[in-house]
Amino acid sequence: MRKSGARYRVISAISVTVVLGLYIALSLSGAIHSAQFPSAQSLVQSFADLLTNGYSGTPFYQEVLASLARALAGFIAAVVVGVPFGLLIGVNKTADAIAHPFLSFFRPIPPIALIPLFILYFGIGEVAKVGLIFLTAFWYMTLNAAAGVRGVPEDLVRAAGMLGLNRRQIMMRVVFPCALPQIITGMRVSMALCWALVVAAELIAAQTGLGFMIMDATTFFRIPIVFIGVAVIGVIGLILEASLGALERWLLHWQGK
């Protein structure tokens, strides 16, 4: 298994190297129109300038940290609130009947459509940005936690009761561990959504962050900065996904054994 995993990682690295090499070759040959697609040289120069001078007087790392802080704050709040609520509606049919219409109604609404309402009720500060991210992630955390509980085999619950476990012990020692894979899946989906929503959230009168930087650079047609911002968002997204993958392997080390 380890050799197979290493082999696929090598294949992935080769594919990325080939695509980057092709892009650099096209840039050097002049085949890429620089007005629409910046050359590799201009991207390197713009990135070096960002690292040295920042963007609009703000150090580049502060732009990154501002976006990360908003995404992680919304994500953590969604986990803290969504997981217990999902567990509740998963085990309690009355709670599920109460919550189901609201979950079904709000979940399909695009987060961007809620931006005017968040500005109206919460202003243009950090509360509105983090709140928008939280609300979107909350639905997925809740639904995945509830689905994990519903997927617990009834035989396990009955066997635990026959062994003398009370309801609280059954919940903590049987139901929650069995639901954990689905909860982790919800965390991975929610983290991806939170990070993707940073750009939308930073449309709410933000003065820092990668989303602000991308929108501002687009306004002034600074195309290399736009590409760099998008690339940095992608790289950080990969790092966050890998971190949650490592957490999943640590918490669910018993899977497949």
Same domain, 26 and 52: no
Residues 135 and 23 in one domain: no
Average pLDDT estimate for 45-72: 92
Q: Does residue 210 form part of some domain? A: yes
**pTM, full prediction:** 0.86
Kindly state whether residue 160 falls inside one of the protein's structural domains. Answer: no
Conformation bin of residue 206: beta by default, left when phi > 0, alpha when psi is -120 to 50: beta
Residues 6+ apart with CB under 8 A from 39: 27, 28, 32
Tell me the pLDDT tens digit for each residue of 164-207.
888 888 888 888 888 999 999 999 999 998 998 888 888 777 88
Q: State the pLDDT confidence band at 235, using cuts at 50, 70 and 90.
A: very high
| 21 and 118 assigned to the same domain | no
Query: Model confidence at 47, in pLDDT bands (50, 70, 90)?
Result: very high
Residues 94 and 21 in one domain: no
Indicate whether 119 and 211 sit together in one domain: yes
Q: Is residue 90 part of a domain?
A: yes
Q: How far apart are CA 106 and CA 113, in angstroms?
A: 11
171 domain residue, yes or no: no
If you count DSSP H runs as helices and E runs as strands, how many of each does the chain have, helices first?
Answer: 11, 0
Range of the structural domain that residue 4 is part of:
1-32
CATH assignment at residue 60: 1.10.3720.10
What total of structural domains would you count in the chain? 2
